[in-house]
Structure 1
Amino acid sequence: MHKVLVQGNFDVLHPGHIRLLKFAKECGDRLIVAVNTDSTMSVKSRVKEKHRLELVKSLECVDEAFLTTQTPSQLVSELKPYAVVKGKEFEEKYNPELEALNEYGGKLFFGSGEFEANAEQFITRSERVKSSFDYSESRDYAQRHDITMESVSECLESVKKITAVVIGEVIVDEYVQGTAVGLSQEDPTIVMTPSRTDTFLGGAAITAGHIKAIGAKSVSLISVLGNDKSALYAESKIHDYDVTPYFYRDESRPTSLKTRYRAGSKTLLRVNQVRQHKISKELQNTIIAQLEKLVDEADLVVFSDFNYGLLPNSLVERVATICKKRGIKLVADSQTSSQVGDISRYIGMDLITPTEKEVRVALNNPDDGLVILAQKLTEKSKPRNLVITLAEEGILIHKPSDDFKNWENDRLPAINKLAVDPAGAGDCFLAASALSLASGASPWLAYYLGSLASACQVSTTGNTPLSVELLRRAAKESFT
């Protein structure tokens, strides 16, 4: 039998660990995991060794797990595994267990940064709550960071003082709902019969809408629209969100329109009508002039970038300079479509919230594990806070030190296990987290609220502003 050994701290068990362990299991017949004791860790663990061991044992791919005070070389000499598996980031480093492996022909493998698989499916849970909201792991997170319902309530009260400005692309989202009637006889295409069309404001508009609905004192939205029906819809609909718009026209670019064709709860096809050329220097100057009028009252500025040309580097740098001089919180979300987009160009933000794919594209890095990815992005773009969003796997939190050389990590799983429509989850997370940070909350509390907000958002079809009462209710349930 081929035994495979993995050794580590597993301080906070995140999807990167789970992916590595799944890879390790595939390298042999029996996976053994050695969890370092509290006394052997160079940095004090937030999670006690007993609990860290229990979490590792809960994984379906793990056959055996135990606590250890031994070094990697000592363990290899004692257990003589067929292979030791480590993260890809150790491939170019000194690996002390290699000498012990070479003595009997053992192997040393390095796990890749594969991110297509859903790590949640490899977690064994003894029972699930009947509701689609599962607070079990979020409660542990709240306990680790001294988050209480009282601190959540104080934060939600504090955000009422925040004035925010959102800059970015407005997107009109259409949902064509219908019934799939089968395959076409002429070609292998699904045929659907549409029954209704629902239209929503998306992009920077919904981010602004979420910020206002969660409780901000006032929110301004700066964007560029085309000369079309979608622009007229955006201009009329934005007032429903109680957001002050500053819309400018550019006839060379249509208002971004995304149409989703859905049958039941599944999306069959999405059609994007967008242009990606940069806005003119004249429009950039107009936006800066408007921002100058707004920043004296602003506490928070949000870049909502879909990489359709509204936020070229020159404009981003000018906005950032204005805000940093005034001590205004700056956060950024830069969505990547295919290989277009680069979150790393947002330098010195107070918070960035990329997806894993967006980080890998920005760094051209398909191999490294999540934590190493996060640190490399931190070293490149110097954010004060970084959260990698992982869809149904939740979020990985990376909190760098002031010199960006050391860091803390934690994770929060997706609280809503049965998302009806994932559209808007990232927008809602960004809105709630950014507002909380601007109000003076700790990053840990900000991300807790952001995760709750996302869970509420994905429970319905369509991306509409989140009700703060729904968020309060979810927070109360999470502590009961």
Structure 2
Amino acid sequence: MAKTKKTVLVVGNFDVLHPGHIRLLKFAKECGDHLIVAVNEDDNMSVKSRISERHRLEMVQSLECVDEAFLNEADSVTLINQYQPYAVVKGKEYEEKDNPELDALKSYGGKLIFGSGEFETNAEQFIRRTPSIGKNFDYSEAKRYASRHSITLESVLEAFDSIKQLNVLVIGEVIVDEYVQGSAVGLSQEDPTIVMTPNKTDTFLGGAAITAGHIKAIGANEVSLISVLGEDSAADYVTQHIDKYNLSEHLLVDNSRPTPLKTRYRAGNKTLLRVNQVRQHKISKELQNTIIDIVKSKVSSLDLLVFSDFNYGLLPQSLVDAITLLCHEHSVKVVADSQTSSQVGDISRYKGMDLITPTEREVRVALNNPDDGLVILAQKLARKSGAKNIVITLAEEGILIHLPNKDFSNWENDNLSAVNKHAVDPAGAGDCFLAASSLVIAANKMPWLAYYLGSIAAACQVGAVGNTPLDFNVLKKAVIDSFE
């Protein structure tokens, strides 16, 4: 007897196709054999889309997991009666809501399944793509993004001019990054360990130092840096090399803490192992008071303050709150990045920020939420943190942009794919994105433009090993190329 094909139906607007949509549709396909997607027509949407119905349909059709897609003018119950699918799949956020599809499905034994897909999934691989434009950069999605947000070359160049007037203060851990480059010889005969022969070691200033370095290199007027170092060889390296970043630095000393040192062992373009030499206890009250005094001496002349938090104890909550209050009292824009990779952090503890740029994992850790889709995650983070702008960075998948309204009851989203699909070293992408985006926001330009420039800056940064300040001329050329 022939097996009956299990048809799965998904209905949605797919306003701006982002990785959350792709994961949902991949999950839906795994629930059956044949995936049908009904893309609502413009007239069947409660909120007008920035994207034409034809383009929304084409984007859904470009997904390998979608077997059939069409423009839809009917409601879900009508479609269920017409197609009688084995299952209808909806996002996890609908599980506790009223679902009119349920009765229609029960009438013939159909299923209503809720899920948002696995967040570890790399959604990029499920898109049927045409060859990249140029050797490394693919501007195709960036061009469409610029078009729907009325971003022009002139508006970006104007933003560059405005950035030149800004004074910025960066606070956070300075990290010394070592790259030990070598050749992978093979597996050890004694135990299953990769053996490599090192032949070159490169050292860079990372963490808050590189964030400040990017901000200065992109064109800010004056950039100050506050950090705490240990008494060790890594601290010596920092003090000997920080001058080349053209910063006004305030490097305090705590001999109970080592200067953070991260060593990456690489073979070819792959990192085999990373060793972190750090300590995570909080800095003393005395050092906290010193930092507050430095901020007080500068805040009246600042346009932007950046928290570059790697969660090694330099930014305890009381210090963050005191500095944030000072900035709000002086109308200084405040942005934050709180990295949670090998350490534990909580981006939501940064309240009332003008911009936060967490990774997806950092959002899920902050909310203790492994289930919800990306948009719902972003909105829950907005409510918890009070952030005016949220960008969830998704590595090679690009970024999900979330703009809540003033009372966080509504929002607008967009997605911008990674411009550089062939990253040599992704380590500095987030720092560079934060630097460029926050400068545009501090210059009071529209957030959409900020994330456009940030994405191109990140694409330039990941093209070489090591996190060094982005050359402004490289960034400007990449921006010009993106409009050709």
Class of the TM-score when normalised by the shorter of the 2 chains: over 0.9
| CA distance in structure 2 between the aligned counterparts of 1:277 and 1:86, rounded to whole angstroms | 44
Counterpart of 1:397 (choices 395, 401, 425) is 401
CA contact 1:81–1:106 (8 Å) conserved in 2: yes
* Alpha-carbon distance in structure 1 between the residues aligned to 2:445 and 2:267: 41
In structure 2, distance between residues paired with 1:384 and 1:373: 15
* 1:94 corresponding residue in structure 2: 98
Paired residues, what number?
A: 480
User: Residue 151 of structure 2 aligns to a residue in which SS?
Assistant: coil
- The structure 2 residue matched to 1:114, chosen from 107, 118, 124, is 118
Quote the Cα distance in structure 2 between the aligned partners of 1:338 and 1:258. Answer: 11
Q: CA deviation at 1:127?
A: 2.9
**Percentage identity across aligned positions?**
70
User: Aligned to 1:378, which of 367, 382, 388?
Assistant: 382
Letter in 2 for 1:87: G
- Do the aligned residues in 1 keep the contact of 2:25 with 2:66 (CA within 8 Å)? yes
Does the 8 Å contact 2:283/2:314 carry over to 1? yes
2:116 aligned partner, one-letter code: S
119, 137, 158: which one aligns with 1:133: 137
Whether the 8 Å CA contact 1:113–1:370 is kept in 2: the answer is no
CA distance in structure 2 between the aligned counterparts of 1:134 and 1:347, rounded to whole angstroms: 35
Distance in 1 between residues matched to 2:214 and 2:342, nearest whole Å: 26
Do structure 1's residue 155 and structure 2's residue 159 form an aligned pair?
yes
Kindly indicate whether the alpha-carbon contact (under 8 Å) linking 1:88 and 1:113 is maintained by their aligned counterparts in 2.
no
Cα deviation 1:51-96 (Å, max 9, x = unaligned):
1001100111100000111111111111100000111101111111
How far 1:388 moved relative to its partner?
A: 0.3
SS of residue in 1 equivalent to 2:325? helix
Aligned counterpart, 1:308: 312
For residue 130 of structure 1, report the CA deviation from its aligned partner. 3.9
2:269 to 255, 261, 265: 265
In structure 2, the CA distance between the partners of 1:339 and 1:367, relative to structure 1 (3 Å rule), is farther
Alignment TM-score, normalising by the size of structure 1: 0.99
> Which whole-Å CA distance do the structure 2 matches of 1:126 and 1:250 have between them?
53
Residue 426 of structure 2 aligns to a residue whose secondary structure is coil
**In the alignment, is the contact (CA less than 8 A) between 1:359 and 1:373 conserved in 2?**
yes
Out of 37, 40, 43, the position equivalent to 1:36 is 40
Displacement after TM superposition at 1:338 (Å): 4.5
Deviation by residue 1:183-210 (Cα, 9 ceiling, x = unmatched): 1111111111100100000000000000
Q: 1:166-177, aligned counterparts within 5 Å? A: 166-177=170-181
Deviations, residues 340-373 of structure 1 (Å, cap 9, x unaligned) = 1000000000000000000000000000000000
| Structure 1 CA distance for aligned equivalents of residues 287 and 341 of structure 2 | 24
TM-score (norm 2): 0.98
- Determine the structure 1 residue equivalent to 2:422: 418
Match of 1:299 in 2: 303
Q: Offset at 1:113?
A: 4.7
Equivalent position SS for 1:219: strand
Q: Classify the secondary structure of the residue corresponding to 1:423.
A: helix
Equivalent residue number for residue 444 of structure 2: 440
Distance in 2 (CA, whole Å) between partners of 1:416 and 1:406 is: 32
Could you say which residue in structure 2 is the equivalent of 1:285? 289
Deviations 1:226-274 (A, max 9, x none): 0001111111211100011101000000000000000011000000000
Amino acid at match of 1:167: I
Contact 1:339 1:361 in 2 (8 A): no
Q: Which runs of 5+ in 1 are unaligned?
A: none
For the residues of structure 2 that align with 1:16 and 1:398, how far apart are their CA atoms? 13
User: What's the offset of the Cα at 1:126?
Assistant: 3.0
Question: Which of these residues, 12, 16, 32, is aligned with residue 8 of structure 1?
Answer: 12
For residue 111 of structure 1, report the CA deviation from its aligned partner: 1.4
Number of the residue aligned with 2:207: 203
| In structure 1, C-alpha distance between the alignment counterparts of 2:389 and 2:20, rounded to whole Å | 19
Cα 1:338–1:423 change in 2 (3 A) is: closer
Q: Which runs of 4+ in 1 moved over 4 A?
A: none
Q: Secondary structure at the match of 1:424?
A: helix
Amino acid in structure 1 at the alignment position of 2:58 = E
User: Does the residue aligned with 2:468 lie in a helix, a strand or coil?
Assistant: coil
Cα deviations by residue, 1:322-342 (Å, 9 ceiling, x for unpaired):
000000000000001346100
The answer for the alignment partner of 1:220 in structure 2 is 224
* Structure 1 residue 85 corresponds to structure 2 residue 93: no
For residues 236 and 375 of structure 1, what CA distance do their matches in structure 2 show? 44
- Compare 195-204 and 333-342 and name the one that shifted more: 333-342
Within the alignment, does 1:143 sit opposite 2:127 as a pair? no
CA contact (8 A) 2:171 2:306 kept: yes
Of residues 7-16 and 104-113 in structure 1, the stretch that sits farther from structure 2 once superposed is 104-113
Tell me which residue corresponds to 1:194. 198
Residue 129 of structure 1 and its aligned partner are, at CA, apart by 2.2
Residues 1:103 and 2:100 are matched in the alignment: no
Q: Which residue of 2 aligns with 1:460?
A: 464
Q: State how far apart, in whole Å, the 1-side matches of 2:342 and 2:10 are.
A: 34
CA distance in 1, matches of 2:332, 2:81: 56
Equivalent position to 1:332, from 331, 336, 347:
336
11, 19, 23: which one aligns with 2:23: 19
Alpha-carbon spacing, 1:397–1:324, altered in 2? closer, same or farther (3 Å): same
Instruction: Rate the CA distance shift 1:472–1:453 in 2: closer, same or farther, 3 A.
Output: same
2:372 counterpart residue number = 368
Aligned CA RMSD, in angstroms, stands at 0.7
Q: Which amino acid in the other structure matches residue 290 of structure 1?
A: I
The match for 1:256 is 260
Distance 2:253 2:343 in 1: 27
CA distance in 2, matches of 1:434, 1:126: 32
What residue identity is the alignment partner of 1:460? A
Q: Which amino acid aligns with 1:293?
A: S
